[in-house]
Amino acid sequence: MKSLLVVLVVLAGVWFWRSRASSIRQRPPASPIQPPLQDTVACSRCHVHIPRAEAVQGQHGSYCGLEHLHQAEP
Ligand SMILES: [Zn+2]
């Protein structure tokens, strides 16, 4: 009778350990840290995305620099 109790305790321990292990495995992976969303615009000439604050505004759109502004809007 005592051995039956030992078997039951071992089985309960195994069941507990397995359910714990599977719950740990089912945990979704930690999401990678997202960079803060920045307001960007695409250069109308080379289509490179740049922060809106750094963009050069032309008559026909935004540009990554004065060089592309002058090339696109002479
Ligand atoms: Zn550009």
The 10s digit of each residue's pLDDT in 15-57 is: 878 888 777 667 666 777 666 677 999 999 999 999 999 999 9
Q: Which structural domain range is residue 60 located in?
A: 2-25+39-72
Residue 2: per-residue pLDDT: 75
Per the model's pLDDT, the better-predicted residue between 20 and 8 turns out to be 20
Is pLDDT above 70 for 4? yes
In a domain, 55, yes or no: yes
Ligand 1: centre distance to CA 57 (Å): 12
The count of structural domains within the chain is 1
Residue 35: per-residue pLDDT: 62
Ligand 1: centre distance to CA 58 (Å): 12
Ligand 1: centre distance to CA 65 (Å): 6
Distance between first and last Cα of the chain: 97
pTM, two decimals, is 0.49
In a domain, 30, yes or no: no
Classified as helix, coil or strand, 16 is: helix
Cα separation, 61 vs 5, whole angstroms:
79
In a domain, 32, yes or no: no
In a domain, 34, yes or no: no
Please name the residues in contact with 69: beta carbons below 8 A apart, sequence gap of 6 or more: 56, 58, 63
Cα separation, 15 vs 56, whole angstroms:
65
